[in-house]
Amino acid sequence: MKLDQLYSSDLNRCIETSSLLFPDQNPVLMSSLREYDFGDWEGKQYRDLADLPHYQNWIANPRTITPPNGECFKDFTNRIEQGFNQLLNEASRNKHSTVGCVTHGGVIRYLLSEYAPNLMPFNEWTADIGKAYKLTGDIVDVRRGQRFSLLQVVPSVVKTNG
């Protein structure tokens, strides 16, 4: 797929994925597209955290409970909104019609919950590895608060298991 511009989280795993999926593109790296900061829970598996009361409270109330030394949900969503608005503004200013964004599951789920045509809350969306989520619509309308008009889920052409 030919893009007018590619954006990516500035974390290595997204930069590497960008180079595999779009080898001829130089992505604009954005820290605002980073994954949710899990703080002390970063890199841990469910079995490591399952018995912690704070973790159980967070699972039940992720919008109001913050992981220790992590990011609150409001800061996470504000960061994504700031970055996505920057992306939309640049696309509009440069008259780009096709832009790509390589980012993380939580960011994808949030963007789908806010901008996909089908209304579903954040926690009901999935962002499966090896799939791309293509939103189609008018940037002017989206910048005015409307949702994209079409969502397509497409498989990646890159092997996801090495």
Q: Answer yes or no: is 161 within a domain.
A: no
Q: What is the DSSP string of 76-100?
A: HHHHHHHHHHHHHHHHHHTT-S-EE
Number of structural domains in the chain: 2
Q: Which of 51, 54, 29 is nearest to 39 (CA)?
A: 54
The range of the structural domain enclosing residue 129 comes to: 5-35+73-155
Q: Looking at residue 110, which CATH number applies to its domain?
A: 3.40.50.1240
pLDDT at 22: 93
Same domain, 45 and 17: no
Contacts of 156 (CB under 8 A, 6+ apart): 21, 130, 131, 132
Query: Cα 128 from chain centroid?
Result: 12
* Cα 123 to Cα 105: distance, rounded to the nearest angstrom: 11
Which pLDDT tens digits describe the chain residue by residue (162 residues)? Answer: 789 999 999 999 999 999 999 999 999 999 999 999 999 999 999 999 999 999 999 999 999 999 999 999 999 999 999 999 999 999 999 999 999 999 999 999 999 999 999 999 999 999 988 889 999 999 889 989 999 999 999 887 655 555
Q: Answer yes or no: is 162 within a domain.
A: no
Burial letters 124-151, b for 16+ CB under 10 A, else e: ebebeeeebbebebebeebeeeebbeeb
Q: How many helices (H) and strands (E) does the chain have?
A: 6, 5
pLDDT at 154: 86
Same domain, 133 and 79: yes
Could you tell me if 2 and 98 are in contact, meaning their C-beta atoms sit under 8 angstroms apart? yes
Domain boundary among 15, 47, 70: 70
pLDDT at 1: 73
Domain boundary among 53, 70, 87: 70
Same domain, 58 and 122: no
Same domain, 20 and 46: no
Domain boundary among 70, 95, 125: 70
